[in-house]
């Protein structure tokens, strides 16, 4: 078992969907008991539990059965405005397929929280044949990627997470012959791209793969249980430096359409500092909320062709005072 942190692998992948369109795509998240969210029952969360400040990967113990192996890929949390996006993989020997069919894995969105937690335990009950991994992409990483120039949109970040997980499994010495990926958008071009990156592996990329292939259903369990544990048991890093601040405990699923999430967003905003790092600042919902309810900030160098021009002295009434001094209301000691 291992937890590692690293930056997302960058690849030259085609853009397939607009990030704001993805925001509207959602599954049926449910609220789970925060008391069990990081009690040690979910091995993909760090021990001791701490704030999520960077993206990381978790890997269960390496299986020992002979290969080749098949692997499934699915995600949880593409659409929410709160919390991480989690990509999960599950893998087992191709020869184990008939046994896998009997274990009850299915699309995690069709199962209850208790069902999913039980299936995650089953996924870890046969370490000789079954293994799983997750890539937990922090809200900060999602926001910084989408807001940088040029941006790394959510599709690109999702593809990077998929590629990273597959490569990390291969790096363990696991021989993969079949990989099944649940994906949106142009699945045929994505399938060709993955086949080019990993020659010798047969890729199947399709929508609703979690309901078509049990190994993808198993991956969806790993991703969903991990995300649910993070979102309900969230540790606010802001408490470390500003313990006087607190935020409502009831956050809902994190989707902008969830009434509980909408209520949390209304109550959690701080006019000067905005939202805590649980929030994805690149989401349109968050941008609108900040524009309406937070203080407007005017940057002194906004609209300047270069930083040097901020120090040039203007003409007219403000003659003799540079732009920077005027914007910051800086006065000479002689004037005081």
Strand (E) positions, the chain?
2-5, 56-59, 69-76, 85-93, 131-137, 176-182, 202-206
Question: 269 in helix, strand or coil?
Answer: coil
β-pairing, 85-93 with 56-59?
Answer: unpaired
Residue 168 Cα to chain centre, angstroms? 18
- Locate 108 and state its tokens: 């995690």
Apex 14 CA angle, 54 and 159, nearest 5: 35
Q: What is the DSSP string of 166-211?
A: HHHHHHTT--EEEEEEE--S-HHHHHHHHHHHSTT-EEEEETTHHH
The binding site for a divalent metal cation consists of 74-75, 182
The binding site consists of 74-75, 182
Apex 229 CA angle, 223 and 231, nearest 5: 100
């Amino acid at each position: 078992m291992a937890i590692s942190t690293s930056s997302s692998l960058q690849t030259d992948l085609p853009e397939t969907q607009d990030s704001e369109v993805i925001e509207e795509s959602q599954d049926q998240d449910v609220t789970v008991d925060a008391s069990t969210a990081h009690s040690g029952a979910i091995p993909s969360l760090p021990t001791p539990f701490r704030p999520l400040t960077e993206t990381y990967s978790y890997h269960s113990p390496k299986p020992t059965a002979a290969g080749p192996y098949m692997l499934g890929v699915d995600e949880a949390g593409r659409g929410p405005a709160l919390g991480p996006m989690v990509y999960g993989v599950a893998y087992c020997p191709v020869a184990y397929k008939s046994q896998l069919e009997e274990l009850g894995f299915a699309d995690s969105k069709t199962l209850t929280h208790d069902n999913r937690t039980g299936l995650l335990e089953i996924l870890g009950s046969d370490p000789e044949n079954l293994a799983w991994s997750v890539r937990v992409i922090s809200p900060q990483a999602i926001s910084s990627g989408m807001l940088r120039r040029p941006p790394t949109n959510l599709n690109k970040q999702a593809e990077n997470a998929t590629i990273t997980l597959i490569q990390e499994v291969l790096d363990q010495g696991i021989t993969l012959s079949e990989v099944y990926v649940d994906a949106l958008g142009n699945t045929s071009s994505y399938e060709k791209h993955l086949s080019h990156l990993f020659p010798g592996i047969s890729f199947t990329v399709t929508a609703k793969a979690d309901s078509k292939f049990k190994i993808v259903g198993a991956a969806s369990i790993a991703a969903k249980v991990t995300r649910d544990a993070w979102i309900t048991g969230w540790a606010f890093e802001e408490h470390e430096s500003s313990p006087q601040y607190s935020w409502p405990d009831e956050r809902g699923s994190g989707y902008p359409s969830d009434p509980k999430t909408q209520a949390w967003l209304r109550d959690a905003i701080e006019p000067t500092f905005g939202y805590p790092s649980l929030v994805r600042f690149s989401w349109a919902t968050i941008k609108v909320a900040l524009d309406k309810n937070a203080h407007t900030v005017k940057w002194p160098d906004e609209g300047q062709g270069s930083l040097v021009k901020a120090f040039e002295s203007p003409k007219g009434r403000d003659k003799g005072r540079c732009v920077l001094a005027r914007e910051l209301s800086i006065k000479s000691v002689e004037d005081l």
